């Protein structure tokens, strides 16, 4: 009997209710919900600043209200990192919701210890430079306001919570594939240095952590075969894992979408750098040794994954407040369209000459906004849509810049117009990510239990 | 019609900070051998021009007949800072597959 792991969330806002047919149909033994992209924690910080009880993903409420009752009835544990910056607050909310629904005996675990924001000065004093992982630049804690600092935890605290009988486990920043690896370890009792098995579990997690992307979503390979009307209803992925770590990747039976060697290949390399060294907190996985067999009927078997010892350092991502950006879109048509674009740019330069605007970027939608200069621009276009992006430290400067441009309404190049929706838009915060590494021993995960 | 890399392969782009990766998955074993021989990291770097400011690394996956290109400085500072309309570089696989591919 294989152990079956379902994946019902790949980002904050995903359709978590896709867990229901997995659970009601008896197709899974556990369901994981992966909610945290690199940016998500910085976004959740805004919620937490507004209300200290928040800072977790709202999807957890949906999970608690609509999925948990069924999962608890079927004894299917639910695991999510959607606790974001406030796993304890999320667990308390779930406890209240569960109590109202009468789910007596339910045990919720909250995993914390990833939030290092309050400890940054202390960590630097202990000798952690927190230098930028890509550029090597030193981190000055006072240079820009730091919004959040979360280290990527591994599977261990989730494994412990599962062994202690938790029905729902809510974490903060646990590395995406480790969320899925944890129940495999808890079920099969894999040892923490059984690198090949751990790596195989990581590959299963990596393939499932973006839900729709392995069952027909975002697939260039399926461009001619997928029915676009099926896309909103794709059945989300399920891995059938053997005790040796090998697994069959499949999806919820009797649902739309497909799992083929092509969809698996596309997802295998998604957001991957060196495929021979896929680094996670629990193991370094080597994707180059694996075998992939398309068994048909939405089943792809993966075996032969190998692993190497886990890294001594863990990845820590800081979010820093770096200013604001704003967008304006202008439309310019024939005749002399390019000449008028140049006139627009010079007029903008003159209008904003006295404002502390930091960057101004011009892109021509439909001509070079996605692919830059990989193809030449047309010489005599009938129309040009000019997207102007500009930044400043202060949102008010951007508002003033827009007002000044509006004053030019009747004084611009001939026939120019501006997109009304962009006039009324608000400046957007620029949150810069600062990835760094810290020694593993600095990080101590904790588990708190909440019972109904 | 112009032959393009897309005729030999499909792929997907992903992001991590200011780094983008694009997988190039061969449509046949023959296509994979051709890609391995001719689609160098240098060639990809030249193709992307201003879109990629840093270096480009190439990784081979013989087991699934795919190449993986990792491009540094490819997202105008990364998804949160980028002023591009596609700040996460979701479309960058298309940019690479657009490369003209001469028959010889």
For A321-364, the pLDDT digits (tens) are 999 999 999 999 999 999 999 999 999 999 999 999 999 999 99
List, by residue range, all CATH 3.30.70 domains of chain A: 320-434
A391 at B interface, C-beta within 8 A: yes
User: In this model, does residue B2 exceed pLDDT 60?
Assistant: yes
Is residue B102 situated within a structural domain?
no
Q: Looking at the DSSP assignment, which residues form a beta bridge with residue B4?
A: B100
Report the pLDDT averaged over residues A108-118.
Answer: 97
Inspect the interface and report whether the beta carbons of B12 and A267 lie closer than 8 Å: yes
ipTM reported for the complex, 2 dp: 0.97
Contact B21 A374 (CB under 8 A): no
Nearest-Cα residue of chain B relative to residue A324: B81
pLDDT of A231 reads 96
Count: domains in chain B: 1
State what percent of residues in chain A have pLDDT above 70. Answer: 100
A112 - beta bridge partners? A446
What confidence category does residue A50 fall into, taking pLDDT thresholds of 50, 70 and 90?
A: confident
Predicted local distance difference test score (pLDDT) of residue B33: 98
Whether A371 and chain B come into contact, CB under 8 Å, resolves to yes
Q: Do A265 and B81 touch (CB under 8 A)?
A: no
Asked if residue B63 belongs to a domain, the reply is: yes
Nearest to B22 by CA among B99, B97, B104, B102: B97
pLDDT digits (tens, 9 = 90+) for A355-383: 999 999 999 999 999 999 999 999 999 99
Each residue's pLDDT tens digit, A235-245: 999 999 999 99
Cα–Cα dist A210/A228, whole Å: 19
**Separation between Cα atoms, residue B104 and residue B37, nearest integer Å:** 13
**Strands ordered across the beta sheet of A291-296:** A291-296, A299-303, A247-251, A237-241, A3-9, A30-33, A78-80, A168-171, A107-112, A446-451
Residue B7 Cα, gap to closest chain A Cα (Å): 11
A39 band by pLDDT with thresholds 50, 70 and 90: confident
Q: Yes or no: say if A294 and A354 are a contact pair by the CB < 8 Å rule.
A: no
In a domain, B56, yes or no: yes
A48: pLDDT strictly greater than 90: no
Q: Do B10 and A262 touch (CB under 8 A)?
A: yes
Q: Which of A266, A273, A435 sits opposite B21 (nearest CB)?
A: A273
From the list A38, A46, A32, the residue with the least C-alpha distance to A86 is A46
Q: How many angstroms from the chain centroid is the CA of residue A134?
A: 20
In the stretch 209-268 of chain A, residues with CB closer than 8 A to chain B read 213, 218-221, 261-262, 265-268
pLDDT at A307 over 80: yes
Residue of A143 and A255 predicted with greater confidence: A255
Nearest chain B residue to A320, by CA: B80
pLDDT (tens digit per residue) in B32-85 = 999 999 999 999 999 999 999 999 999 999 999 999 999 999 999 998 899 999
CATH topology assigned to domain A320-434: Alpha-Beta Plaits (3.30.70)
Give backbone dihedrals phi and psi of A296, rounded to 5 degrees, phi first. Answer: 80, 175
**Is residue B101 included in any domain, yes or no?**
no
Domain-located, residue B30: yes
Residue in chain A closest to B15 (alpha carbons) equals A271
Q: What is the pLDDT of residues B10-20, one digit of tens each?
A: 999 999 999 99
Arithmetic mean of pLDDT, A247-265: 98
At A77-102, the pLDDT tens digits run 999 999 999 999 999 999 999 999 99
CB contact under 8 A, A375 and B98: yes
Beta bridge partners of A356: none
The per-residue DSSP string of A333-388 comes to ESSSHHHHHHHHHHHHHHHTTTS---EEEEEEETTTTTTTTSSPPPSS-SEEEEEE
Query: What is the reported pLDDT for B103?
Result: 63
**What number of C-beta contacts closer than 8 Å exist between A and B?**
136
pLDDT at B26: 98
CB A59 within 8 A of CB A36: no
**Total count of residues recorded for chain A:** 452
pLDDT confidence of B104, banded at 50, 70, 90?
A: low
Task: Kindly report the pTM of this predicted structure.
Answer: 0.96
What range does the domain containing B58 cover?
5-74+89-95
In the predicted model, what is the mean pLDDT of chain A?
96
Has residue B82 been placed in a domain? no
For chain B, the first-to-last Cα distance in angstroms comes to: 15
Query: Out of B21, B25, B90, whose CB is closest to A266?
Result: B25
B/e letters for A182-213, b = 16+ CB within 10 Å, e = fewer, are bbbbbbbebeeebbbbbbbbbbbbbbbbbbbb
Q: From chain B, pick out residues whose CB is under 8 angstroms from the CB of A320.
A: none
Residue B62 lies in a domain: yes
Residue A431 has pLDDT above 90, yes or no: no
pLDDT score for A96: 98
């Amino acid at each position: 009997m294989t152990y079956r792991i379902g994946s019902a969330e790949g980002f904050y806002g995903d359709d978590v209710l896709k867990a229901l047919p997995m659970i009601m149909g008896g197709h899974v033994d556990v369901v994981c919900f992966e909610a945290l992209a690199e940016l998500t924690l910085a976004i959740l910080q805004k919620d937490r600043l507004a209300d200290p009880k928040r800072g977790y993903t709202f999807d957890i409420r949906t999970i608690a209200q609509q999925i948990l009752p069924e999962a608890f009835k079927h004894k299917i544990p639910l695991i999510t990192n959607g606790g974001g910056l406030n796993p304890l607050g999320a667990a308390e909310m779930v406890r209240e919701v569960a109590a109202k629904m009468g789910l007596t005996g339910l045990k919720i675990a909250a995993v914390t210890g990833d939030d290092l924001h309050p400890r940054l000065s202390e960590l630097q004093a202990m000798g952690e430079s927190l230098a930028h992982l890509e550029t090597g630049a030193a981190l000055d804690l006072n240079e820009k306001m730091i919004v959040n600092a979360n280290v990527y935890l591994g599977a261990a605290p989730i494994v412990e919570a599962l062994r202690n009988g938790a029905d729902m486990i809510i974490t903060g920043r646990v590395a995406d594939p480790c969320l899925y690896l944890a129940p495999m370890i808890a079920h099969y009792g894999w040892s923490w240095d059984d690198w090949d098995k751990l790596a195989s579990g990581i590959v299963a997690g990596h393939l499932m952590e973006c839900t729709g992307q392995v069952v027909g979503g975002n697939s260039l390979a399926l461009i001619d075969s997928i029915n676009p009307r099926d896309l909103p209803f794709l059945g989300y992925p399920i891995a059938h894992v053997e005790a040796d770590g090998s697994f069959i990747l499949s999806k919820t039976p009797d649902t739309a979408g497909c799992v083929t060697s092509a969809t698996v290949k596309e997802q295998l390399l998604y957001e991957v750098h060196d495929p021979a060294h896929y680094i996670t907190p629990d193991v370094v996985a080597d994707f180059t040794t694996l075998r992939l067999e398309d068994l048909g009927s939405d089943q792809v078997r993966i075996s032969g994954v190998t692993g190497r010892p886990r890294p001594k350092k863990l990845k820590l991502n800081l979010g820093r407040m770096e200013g604001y950006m704003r967008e304006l879109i202008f439309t310019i048509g024939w005749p002399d369209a390019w000449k008028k674009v140049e006139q627009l740019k010079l007029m903008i330069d003159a209008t904003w000459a006295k404002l502390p605007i930091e960057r101004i970027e011009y892109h021509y939608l439909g001509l070079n906004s996605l692919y830059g200069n990989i193809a030449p621009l047309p010489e005599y276009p009938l129309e040009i849509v000019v997207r102007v992006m500009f930044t400043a430290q202060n949102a008010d400067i951007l508002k003033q810049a827009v007002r000044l441009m509006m004053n030019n309404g009747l004084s611009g190049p001939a026939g120019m117009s501006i997109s009304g929706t962009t006039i009324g838009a608000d400046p957007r915060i620029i949150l810069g990510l600062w990835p760094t590494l810290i020694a593993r021993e600095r990080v101590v995960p904790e588990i708190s239990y909440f019972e109904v | 019609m112009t032959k393009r890399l897309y005729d030999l392969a499909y792929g997907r782009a992903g992001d991590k900070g200011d780094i983008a990766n694009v997988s190039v998955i061969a449509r046949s074993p023959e296509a994979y051998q051709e890609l391995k021989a001719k689609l160098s990291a240098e060639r990809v770097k030249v193709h992307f021009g201003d879109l990629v400011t840093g270096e480009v690394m190439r990784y081979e996956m013989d087991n699934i007949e795919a190449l993986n290109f990792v491009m540094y400085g490819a997202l105008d500072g990364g998804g949160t800072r980028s002023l591009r309309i596609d700040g996460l570089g979701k479309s960058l696989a298309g940019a690479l597959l657009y490369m003209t591919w001469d028959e010889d």
